[in-house]
Amino acid sequence: MADTEDEPGRRVGFVRRIGLFQATALNMSQMCGIGPFVTIPLMVAAFGGPQAVIGFVAGAVLALADGLIWAELGAAMPGAGGSYVYLRQAFQYRTGKLMPFLFVWTAMLFIPLGMSTGVIGFVQYLGYLWPDMGQTQGDVVGLAVVALIIAVLWRRVENIAKITVVLWCVMITSVVLVIVAAFTHFSPERAFTYPAGAFELTTNHFWIGFAAGLTIGIYDYLGYNTAAYLGAEIKNPGRTLPRAIVFSILGIMGIYLLLQIGTLGIIDWKQMLDPDSTASSSVASAVLEKAWGKTAANTVTVLILVTAVASVFAGLLGGSRVPYDAARDKVFFRPFGRLHPRHRFPVLGLVTMGALTAVGFLIGRHTNLATLIQLLTAVMVIVQALAQVAAVTVLRRRQPTLRRPYRMWLYPLPSIVALVGWLVIYGYADKNSPGRHPIEWSLAWVAAGCVAFVLWARYEKVWPFGPREINEEYLRGADPDTDPDSDPDPKEPVAL
């Protein structure tokens, strides 16, 4: 339930209604969108053969290590906002509101960039049904899809619920059909015959490919933290959130491995490297055509098109709320905290992210999908991923008495694994996108965010132009696992 206002200036809290099954399903539905349908050929290209399965396994390991970080933070601070809440609590003692501000600033870019990959996937698979579609026609179609999604979201959230359920069912159906089709004509020899030198770990070529595969892999797993963003609506969050995160990662890992191995067992991996091949642009359609014929391929391609729309739809629905929540908590620009006077949705957040999705789509169309994935992960790594690795340790030292119903298994090993994984992705970003400079662009975006923060802080008269405000509501608040009706109600911050 979204927070609302029943009187001017009075904010009504969230209700904890989401249980373990719903939280796990929410994570999995966000994780399993268009991603695997468009990234299997990219993964094969990165590794140069069917050993590309390594990329999905490595992505799962990184997702699980990072997921345990989310699990500890989410269980201890089950409020609305996810990273925004954790970074605000961890870094407020030295840098005031800088880190949560920068998180929202970077989320304003990496969320719509992620959604733009779904639009690119839509256009790629539409090309299977419309083989004569040109570059300009594809651009127009993609922009029209973005505009249509924004138009559908231009209404009350409760009116969207049924649409979301239908789209989720279509998504699951398309994934299952592709897996079943692949294994009805599966060839172990095709799937497990590797080129010479496929596993030469001493070569730089292998590790560059591994870094590219890890980036693609973690991109496909993104979404395992979705329930954490809805922490204020989770029942028994101390137990539910850690389990939902772990269960969803393991479940999606099984689905992805079946999809990857099944595809490699029916489609020759060399075809996926040919840019003019259907296996390169629409690999799932190629699987269906080879297994069950053209009619079945056309039908499932339509389902995949709906899946692509569903992933963008869900991402923009949730993403547009990030700057809204921050603005309402006085950690971001005030205009983002305004709702549509009639339909009660965040207008500026939706319009801004929709526009950036359109821009990201055009960038990806006129470069390539791999470049777009490198850029969005590079932006995400700096503030969200690396800062959260540090936040676990910072909070253990700053708030040792914080209620922690879940403490990270084998601490600090998962933090170290996550740190290494994110640094590998970031460090190899430029090598895997030669001439595109994702590292430089991500640093430029963060630098622009620092400038924006200074201007905002000066206007709002907060640190460094005013006192730091220390707010430890989760340290003093009620236990949501014993009091299901509790809702974090921050007390007046202490100025330092």
Give the pairing of strands 469-470 and 494-495.
antiparallel
Q: What is the pLDDT of residues 21-41, one digit of tens each?
A: 888 877 887 787 788 889 999
- H or E stretch at 84: helix 83-95
pLDDT in tens, 220-243: 999 898 888 878 778 889 999 999
Contact 278, 286 (CB under 8 A): yes
Contact 55, 278 (CB under 8 A): no
Lowest average pLDDT, out of 104-113, 203-212, 320-329, 359-368, goes to: 320-329
pLDDT surpasses 70 at 93:
yes
Q: Can you tell me the distance from the alpha carbon of 128 to that of 262, in angstroms, rounded to the nearest whole number?
A: 20
Give the H or E element holding residue 4: strand 4-7
Answer with the residue of higher pLDDT: 283 or 317.
Answer: 283
As a whole-number percent, the residues of the chain with pLDDT over 70 amount to: 91
- In this structure, which long-range contacts are made by residues 131-136, counting pairs with CB atoms below 8 Å and at least 24 apart in sequence? 135/365
338 vs 233: CA distance, rounded Å: 22
Note the pLDDT tens digit of each residue in 254-268.
Answer: 989 999 999 999 999
| Termini Cα distance of the chain | 35
How many angstroms separate the CA atoms of 166 and 154, rounded? Answer: 18
Report yes or no: 353 and 340 within 8 Å, Cβ to Cβ: no
Domain boundaries along the sequence of the chain: 15-476
| Residue 62 pLDDT exceeds 90 | yes
Which CATH code fits 15-476? 1.20.1740.10
* pLDDT of residue 81 exceeding 80: no
Query: d(Cα 243, Cα 20) in Å, to the nearest integer?
Result: 7
Question: 458-489: buried (b, 16+ CB within 10 Å) or exposed (e) per residue?
Answer: eeeebbeeeebbebbebbebeebbeeeebbbe
pLDDT digits (tens, 9 = 90+) for 344-387: 778 899 999 999 999 999 999 998 888 899 999 999 998 899 99
8 contact partners, CB below 8 Å, separation of at least 6:
none
